[in-house]
Amino acid sequence: MESRPPLPPFTAETARQKVRLAEDAWNSRDPDRVVGVYTPDTRWRNRAEFPVGREEVHAFLSRKWARELDYRLIKELWAFDGARIAVRFAYEWHDDSAQWYRSYGNENWEFTPQGLMAWRHASINDLPIRPEQRLFHWPLGRRPDEHAGLSELGL
């Protein structure tokens, strides 16, 4: 059976590791990479969409990153208990008309004993921003370790 360490039950250190690994995967904007951390029958609530299973999640992510251009994400651990982790996040992106947005939200995750995410519940709000209001300026891909996180940025 697949395994994706760190495994539950989470400690503060392993929960932070799990959050950073998720952030790194999402910043790759590679649906193939991202779906590998979810169970084959994963269940999501993301805005008004409810994908079930890796295939539907892959299609969802492909549509998302075709629409949300130059996507850069920061996640931060909010709480953890046993096999559950709560995170808050913000990401910046623009649409095909060059309108920038900062999307804010919270996620609740539940993991299997093998460390795969079985449930993902996300609540997200989009705020239109001007280009000069952007805060996430690293090259596309993984956020550099020295880049400020959400708390340091006042988000």
**Distance, CA of 39 to CA of 53 (rounded, Å):** 7
Domains of the chain listed by start with CATH number: 12-133 (3.10.450.50)
Given a contact cutoff of 8 angstroms between Cβ atoms, the answer to whether 51 and 57 are in contact is yes
For the chain, the distance separating the N- and C-terminal CA atoms, rounded to the nearest angstrom, is 38
pLDDT at 47: 93
Q: CB-side exposure of 97: number of CA atoms within 13 Å?
A: 4
Bond before 9 cis per omega within 30 degrees: yes
Give residue 67's identity as a one-letter amino acid code: R
The whole-number mean pLDDT for each consecutive block of 10 residues of the chain, a chain of 155 residues, reads 94 98 98 97 96 98 98 98 98 98 98 98 98 98 98 97
Cα–Cα distance list, 127 to 22, 102, 105 (Å): 23, 5, 11
Q: Please give the pLDDT value at position 53.
A: 98
Q: Which helix (H) or strand (E) holds 57?
A: helix 53-67
Residue 127, classed as helix, strand or coil, is: strand
